[in-house]
């Protein structure tokens, strides 16, 4: 903290005057658990305090107290992020939204739900299913991540190739502004063009523009029972060709996921799921069109797999087996974490570039002597190379970080982006500046200054 920053005691006293005392946490053994997300090697510090508001008004009062003292605010959901976006910065107060976890409304007629930001993604999906409705965005962290965190990073997931990402489903937000005002942006209606798209601006802003206290999302009818298509491949390049072929086929799968053998072995060693897969890379696809149309789509996808060199492919007739493979896909990251620190990439490239970028990732791993396991939302080109390093090996860490930077460069060379869904946070700030032009960066910085002139919301993140 700088010499001019208010002392911790003054900050805590101001917070205690604003919200009930039991909302404020100052015990270092506890606040340390709120100091960072799941990003490896992203810097963080212990916050002055953690505030866990239970209402929008308490969140508003917290922001007003911090704004009055010029104290930085770091919004936090479940802490499952992978870019350092929720990491505490010097002299900050972490505002953890996990206690605001109510599903406030589900309206079947309008097909919308209104939730607090601390609602877990899977809990919302389960609540909607009771009404015959479905909230599609489904990041791999859906059993743990919160809707507020999903909004912060514009999270995607397995279904996003066909059904879109978080921004496609958020209609309205209640937010606390930098001067401590509580306001609503967006609307409940299906259509509306009054004013700028402020909701679209806030979704994906990583908590740098305001504090989200309520979210209205649109829903869809429950997904039809999907068919699963599996394909085994000897190489990442062959699997990449299959992805490009599916993209060119006209079929939009409900999911198209890539998992390599390293990931499957790690999951099997942890969960003992008996994943007897004789392949270096597995592609998992789902189609959910009804009736014969769905079967035709499934066979088209299978033909794309075979045409790209699959050593085995099938349209699954065993839903239990199919679900086990998709469960393994979701468990890949935590399974690999058991082996050592994992630096996670999140680049997204055009479908036609998937084979060449996967080849470059393999080459980068070999050249830097870095173990790179691969998972991907392959259907929309969102690649997640996972760089695994031995614990305590600083040389391996330096090699992994160099490989990380080269993968970002490879994605940009291919016409891609440095982040598909994890956000910029702290880890990808150089990549953001490499991707965006000076004029575009200036537009972002102008928006940030207009909405947060004192720079109290999540400072040092993204920009």
As separate numbers, helices (DSSP H) first and strands (DSSP E) second, the chain gives 15, 19
Three-state SS for 229? Answer: strand
Q: How confident is the model at residue 320 (pLDDT cuts 50, 70, 90)?
A: confident
**Residues 3-17: pLDDT tens digits?**
546 789 999 999 999
Look-up: residue for tokens 């070999």?
366
Which element (helix H / strand E) includes 365? helix 354-367
**Residues 32-85: pLDDT tens digits?**
999 999 999 999 999 999 999 999 999 999 999 999 999 999 999 999 999 999
Cα 336 to Cα 368: distance, rounded to the nearest angstrom? 19
Domains 103-221 and 227-413 belong to one CATH topology: no
User: CATH class for domain 103-221?
Assistant: alpha beta
Residues 6+ apart with CB under 8 A from 434: 408, 409, 412, 418
Look-up: residue for tokens 């090699």?
399
Q: Report the share of the chain in percent with pLDDT over 70.
A: 99
Cα 46 to Cα 35: distance, rounded to the nearest angstrom? 6
Q: 171: closest CA among 184, 187, 155?
A: 187
Average pLDDT, the chain: 95
**Residues 115-152: pLDDT tens digits?**
999 999 999 999 999 999 999 999 999 999 999 999 99
Query: How wide is the angle at C-alpha 334 spanned by C-alphas 402 and 380, nearest 5°?
Result: 70
Beta strands in 116-176 (DSSP E): 133-134, 170-176
Mean pLDDT, residues 347-369: 97
Residue 1: per-residue pLDDT: 45
The DSSP code for 168 is: G
**Residues 69-82: pLDDT tens digits?**
999 999 999 999 99
Residue 54: per-residue pLDDT: 98
Cα 398 to Cα 383: distance, rounded to the nearest angstrom? 22
Cα 285 to Cα 237: distance, rounded to the nearest angstrom? 17
**Residues 407-461: pLDDT tens digits?**
999 999 999 999 999 999 999 999 999 999 999 999 999 999 999 999 999 999 9
Mean pLDDT, residues 352-365: 96
Cα 109 to Cα 107: distance, rounded to the nearest angstrom? 6
Question: CATH assignment of 8-99, given 3.30.43.10, 3.40.640.10, 3.90.1150.10, 3.40.50.1000?
Answer: 3.30.43.10
Cα 119 to Cα 153: distance, rounded to the nearest angstrom? 15
Mean pLDDT, residues 367-376: 97
Q: In degrees rounded to 5, what are phi and psi of residue 18?
A: -100, -35
**Residues 168-221: pLDDT tens digits?**
999 999 999 999 999 999 999 999 999 999 999 999 999 999 999 999 999 999
Residue 5: per-residue pLDDT: 65
Residue pair 34/88 in contact (Cβ under 8 Å)? The answer is yes
In the chain, domain spans: 8-99, 103-221, 227-413
First to last CA, the chain: 20
Q: CATH second-level architecture of 227-413?
A: 3-Layer(aba) Sandwich (3.40)
Mean pLDDT, residues 251-263: 95
Strands 93-96 and 73-76: parallel
Which element (helix H / strand E) includes 151? helix 147-153
Mean pLDDT, residues 253-281: 89
Residue 360: per-residue pLDDT: 97
Look-up: residue for tokens 């058991």?
338
Strands 170-176 and 182-186: antiparallel
Cα 101 to Cα 118: distance, rounded to the nearest angstrom? 4
Higher-confidence residue of 224 and 93: namely: 93
Residues in the chain: 463
Cα 151 to Cα 172: distance, rounded to the nearest angstrom? 11
Cα 156 to Cα 385: distance, rounded to the nearest angstrom? 17
Residue 65: per-residue pLDDT: 98
Residue 276: per-residue pLDDT: 64
**Is residue 297 pLDDT above 90, yes or no?**
yes
Residue 272: per-residue pLDDT: 86
């Amino acid at each position: 903290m700088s010499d001019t920053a208010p002392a911790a005691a003054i900050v805590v006293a101001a917070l205690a005057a604003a919200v009930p005392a039991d909302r404020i946490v100052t015990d270092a053994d506890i606040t340390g658990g709120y100091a960072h997300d799941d990003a490896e090697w992203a810097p963080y510090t212990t916050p002055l305090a953690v505030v866990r508001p239970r209402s929008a008004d308490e969140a508003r009062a917290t922001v007003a107290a911090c704004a009055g003292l010029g104290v930085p605010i770091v919004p936090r959901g479940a802490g499952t992020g992978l870019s350092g976006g929720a990491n505490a910065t010097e002299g900050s107060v972490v505002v953890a939204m996990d206690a605001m976890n109510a599903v406030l409304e589900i309206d079947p007629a309008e097909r919308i739900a209104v939730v607090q930001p601390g609602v877990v993604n899977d809990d919302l999906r389960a609540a909607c299913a009771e009404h015959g409705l479905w909230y599609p965005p489904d990041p791999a962290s859906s059993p743990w991540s919160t809707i507020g965190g999903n909004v912060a990073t514009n999270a995607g997931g397995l279904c996003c190739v066909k059904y879109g990402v978080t921004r496609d489903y958020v209609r309205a937000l209640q937010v606390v502004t930098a001067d401590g005002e509580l306001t609503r942006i967006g609307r409940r209606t299906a259509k509306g063009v009054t004013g700028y798209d402020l909701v679209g601006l806030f979704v994906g802003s990583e908590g740098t523009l305001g504090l989200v206290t309520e979210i209205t999302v649109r829903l869809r009818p429950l997904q039809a029972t999907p068919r699963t298509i599996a394909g085994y491949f000897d190489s990442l390049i062959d699997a990449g060709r299959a992805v490009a072929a599916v993209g060119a086929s006209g079929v939009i799968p409900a999911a198209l996921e890539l998992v390599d053998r390293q990931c499957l072995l790690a999951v099997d060693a942890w969960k003992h799921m008996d994943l007897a897969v004789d392949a270096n890379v597995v592609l998992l696809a789902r189609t959910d069109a009804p009736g014969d149309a769905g079967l035709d789509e499934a066979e088209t996808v299978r033909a794309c797999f075979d045409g790209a060199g699959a050593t085995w492919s099938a349209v699954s007739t065993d839903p239990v087996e199919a679900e086990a493979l998709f469960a393994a896909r979701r468990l890949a990251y935590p399974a690999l974490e058991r082996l050592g620190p994992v630096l996670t990439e999140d680049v997204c490239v055009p479908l036609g570039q998937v084979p060449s970028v996967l080849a470059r990732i393999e080459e980068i791993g070999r050249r830097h002597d870095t173990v790179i396991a691969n998972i991907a939302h392959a259907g929309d080109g969102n690649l997640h190379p996972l760089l695994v390093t031995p614990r305590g090996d600083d040389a391996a860490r330096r090699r992994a970080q160099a490989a990380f930077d080269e993968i970002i460069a490879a994605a940009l060379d291919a016409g891609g982006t440095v982040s598909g869904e994890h956000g910029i946070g702290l880890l990808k700030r150089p990549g953001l500046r490499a991707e965006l032009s000076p004029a575009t960066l200036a537009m972002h910085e102008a928006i940030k200054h207009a909405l947060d002139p004192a720079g109290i919301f999540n400072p040092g993140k993204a920009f």
